[in-house]
Amino acid sequence: MSLAKPWRDLDRSTVGSAPDRYALYELGDADGDTVGFGTGVLRDELKEALAYGDAAKVRWEPADSPDHAERLLAEHIEE
């Protein structure tokens, strides 16, 4: 199930404004269809996603720690 957050364009300005903290993130294509989920330090993860060019959009849910991000992912997948 998708995150209940608005999509943001995955570009350099979004990467630059992303918090430098752990998060669950969702990547989407240009039409807003989900192409994947991930966890990690958000800004670093988005830099990598932007470099690979596999997604056009992103949305995220901040987390307090790596374990919290993984729990968010597990809860999200169960829904």
pTM higher than 0.85 for the full model? yes
Q: Is residue 20 part of a domain?
A: yes
Contact 34, 10 (CB under 8 A): no
Structural domain of residue 70, as residue ranges? 6-76
pLDDT mean values, one per 10 residues, the chain (79 residues): 91 96 96 94 96 94 96 84
Predicted pLDDT of residue 76 = 82
- Domain membership of residue 24 (yes or no) is yes
Identify the pLDDT of residue 30. 95
Q: Tell me the torsion sign for CA atoms 73, 60, 54, 40.
A: negative
| pLDDT (0 to 100) of residue 33 | 94
Amino acid identity, position 70: E
User: 10 in a domain, yes or no?
Assistant: yes
Q: Which residues, including other chains, have CB under 8 Å from residue 34's CB and lie 6 or more apart?
A: 2, 26, 27, 28
Between strands 8-9 and 34-41, the pairing is unpaired
CA distance 47 to 72: 21
What CATH code is carried by the domain that includes residue 63?
3.40.1440.10
**Number of independent structural domains in the chain:** 1
Q: 53 in a domain, yes or no?
A: yes
Give me the pLDDT at residue 14, please. Answer: 97
